[in-house]
Amino acid sequence: MRGIMRIQLRLMRYGAFIGIIGGIATFVGPPHHGLIKAMIGIVIGCMLLGKRLPTALKEMFDANKPIMDETEDYFKS
């Protein structure tokens, strides 16, 4: 369980980073189309994270696999 919490905290930091970059991007440029600028900021944030985000998502899936299997078995019976 400790490993799952560590990975969740890392994913939360990545999500916060992406959100901050997206928020900053909305204030750059002309005052219209804030949603488009936010999406551009999100893409830039994901690009800055590079290979770390997919690795963290894979670790999260692997850590939750036993819990998901146990839940699936419970609902099958």
pLDDT in tens, 8-62: 888 888 889 988 988 888 888 777 777 888 888 888 888 888 888 888 888 878 8
The better pLDDT of the pair 1, 48 is held by 48
Spell out the SS3 assignment of the chain.
Answer: CHHHHHHHHHHHHHHHHHHHHHHHHHCCCCCCCHHHHHHHHHHHHHHHHCCHHHHHHHHHHHHHHHHHHHHHHHHHC
Residues 58-75: what's their mean pLDDT? Answer: 82
Going by C-alpha positions, the residue among 71, 58, 26 that lies closest to residue 44 is 26
Q: Is the pLDDT of residue 1 over 70?
A: no
pLDDT reported for residue 23: 87
Task: Quote the pTM value.
Answer: 0.67
Every domain of the chain and the residues it spans? 2-76
